[in-house]
């Protein structure tokens, strides 16, 4: 007569930190790990965009998961559980009772979890926020993390627009272009009806437009395609066409449902029918006011010298360039030709402003 041997189970869990189901799963995990049964679980917090990428990866591996899921539970490295299946397993294999806090408490815990997650993330990446209105009604918030370690000059330049003492900012700026299944665009500065352009040379194309939520800058186009300006794009999906054309410098970490909402807005010639605006832009700070955002210089070991910024104003009649604009453009083109001749990889292409 053979004996049935029950081996301990190991659960690897991935979930969206600001979801209530993540909070319920966290309660189950704590109960299981304190149960001394030999069964163990590891829970991995993710932001909504990171979690979406993880689900895409699982689907490519042939594992079935719903688009609505905000928790993924994997038992013993291969068996996929839903939350309800995990709950049933807990009832059967432990003395867990359905003792969850009420919904309001779970929502509070989810908000706190998001705040704690961002505080830790902000130790590694600068975090920015955009408060969004649709037809003058608050619609939600985007939170952006910058890849300052891969794109330091451009990240610092972009970051400065979000500082309180910035002469110009994204406050009140509209999203003027919406390309369904593509991207949304904002960030054009105007003063008294005159377009203001603050330009910076293209730094590199290291970051790929490989996923939803990537934030990249628009370039100026002819006659100056080697420079970026303040307008930026947020990708609805992977856009490999943009690689090696537009400098990506960051990624959304929160605001997934808001991006969904915006993408559904109808357009006329790529202009949103409903007015979408940035009501306020700034540097993200914890609800715990005693936790201050780190200074930007703390994020990287060495801050490279900032590129000299050149201003010019485009009016209906003409474009007024700096006096030395043509000379600088020639120098940029010469540098680009030299880089191409030396077979420099495009991913590490850096155009220095001389």
Residue 293 has pLDDT above 50, yes or no: yes
The maximal CA–CA distance of the chain, rounded, in angstroms, is 95
Q: What average pLDDT score do residues 302-306 get?
A: 38
Q: Which one of 65, 94, 112 terminates a domain?
A: 112
Q: Say whether both 135 and 108 belong to one domain.
A: no
Residue 57 shares a structural domain with residue 154: no
Indicate whether 117 belongs to any domain.
no
Q: How far apart are CA 339 and CA 247, in angstroms?
A: 18
Mean pLDDT of the residues in the chain:
81
pLDDT digits (tens, 9 = 90+) for 48-105: 999 999 998 888 888 877 777 899 999 998 888 999 999 999 998 888 888 899 999 9
Is the same domain home to 49 and 139?
Answer: no
Instruction: Please check whether residue 116 is in contact with residue 123, taking contact to mean a CB–CB distance below 8 angstroms.
Output: no
128 and 105, same structural domain? Answer: no
Domain annotation covers residue 80 = yes
Domain shared by 128 and 57, yes or no: no
For residue 271, being part of any structural domain is answered with yes
Phi, psi (deg, nearest 5) at residue 315: -115, 180
Domain residue limits at 225: 122-348
Within a domain: residue 4? Answer: no
Q: Tell me which residue of 25, 68, 31 sits closest to 45, measured CA to CA.
A: 25
Taking the C-alpha atoms of residue 218 and residue 269, their distance in angstroms, rounded to an integer, is 19
Q: Is residue 140 part of a domain?
A: yes
Is 2 among the domain residues? no
Is 56 found in the same domain as 128? no
In a domain? residue 289? yes
Mean pLDDT of 1-26: 83
Question: CA 177, 179, 181 angle in degrees (round to 5)?
Answer: 155
Q: Is 290 among the domain residues?
A: yes
CATH of the domain at 325: 2.40.100.10
CB 276 within 8 A of CB 175: yes
Predicted TM-score (pTM) of this structure = 0.78
Residues 90 and 177 in one domain: no
Report the CATH number that the domain containing residue 52 is assigned in CATH: 3.40.30
DSSP H/E element including 30: helix 20-33
Q: Strands, DSSP E only, in the chain?
A: 10-16, 40-46, 71-75, 79-81, 127-134, 137-146, 175-179, 183-186, 189-191, 194-201, 214-219, 227-235, 248-254, 267-268, 271-272, 276-283, 310-314, 319-320
Span 94-133, pLDDT tens digits: 888 888 999 999 999 999 999 999 999 999 899 999 999 9
Residues 107, 127: one domain? no
- How many domains does the chain divide into? 2
Give per-residue pLDDT as tens, 208-261. Answer: 999 999 999 988 766 556 778 889 999 999 999 998 889 999 999 999 999 999
If asked whether residues 198 and 224 sit together in one domain, one would say yes
- Indicate whether 31 and 54 sit together in one domain: yes
The reply to whether 279 and 209 lie within a common domain is yes
pLDDT at 147 over 60: yes
201 with 295, same domain: the answer is yes
């Amino acid at each position: 007569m053979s004996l049935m041997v029950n081996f301990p189970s190991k659960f690897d869990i991935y979930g969206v930190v600001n979801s209530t189901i993540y909070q319920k799963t966290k309660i189950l995990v704590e109960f299981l790990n304190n149960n001394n049964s030999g069964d163990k679980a590891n829970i991995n917090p993710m932001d909504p965009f990171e979690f979406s990428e993880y689900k895409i990866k699982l689907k490519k591996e042939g594992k079935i998961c719903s688009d609505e899921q905000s928790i993924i539970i994997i038992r013993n490295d291969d068996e996929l559980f839903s939350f309800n299946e995990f709950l049933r397993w807990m009832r059967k294999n432990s003395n867990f009772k359905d003792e969850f806090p009420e919904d309001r408490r779970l929502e509070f815990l989810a908000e706190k979890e998001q705040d704690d997650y961002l505080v830790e993330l902000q130790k590694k990446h600068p975090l920015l926020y955009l408060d969004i209105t649709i037809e003058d009604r608050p619609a939600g918030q985007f939170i952006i993390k910058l890849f300052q370690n891969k794109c330091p000059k451009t990240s610092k330049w972009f970051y400065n627009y979000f500082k309180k003492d910035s002469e110009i900012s994204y406050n009140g700026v509209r999203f003027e272009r919406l390309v369904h299944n593509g991207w949304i665009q904002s960030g054009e500065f105007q003063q008294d009806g005159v377009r203001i352009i603050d330009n910076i040379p293209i730094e590199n194309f290291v970051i790929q437009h490989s996923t939803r939520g990537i934030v990249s800058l628009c370039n100026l186009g002819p006659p100056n395609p080697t420079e970026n300006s303040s307008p930026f794009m947020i990708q609805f999906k992977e856009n490999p066409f943009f690689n090696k054309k537009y400098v990506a410098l960051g990624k959304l970490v929160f605001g997934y449902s808001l991006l969904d909402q915006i993408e559904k807005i109808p357009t006329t010639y790529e202009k949103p029918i409903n007015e979408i605006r940035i009501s306020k832009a700034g540097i993200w700070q914890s609800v715990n006011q005693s936790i201050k955002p780190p200074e930007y210089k703390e994020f990287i070991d060495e801050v490279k010298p900032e590129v000299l910024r050149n201003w010019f104003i485009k009016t209906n009649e003409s474009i007024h360039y700096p006096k030395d604009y043509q000379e600088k453009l020639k120098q940029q083109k010469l540098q680009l030709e030299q880089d191409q001749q030396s077979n420099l990889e495009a991913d590490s292409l850096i155009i220095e402003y001389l």
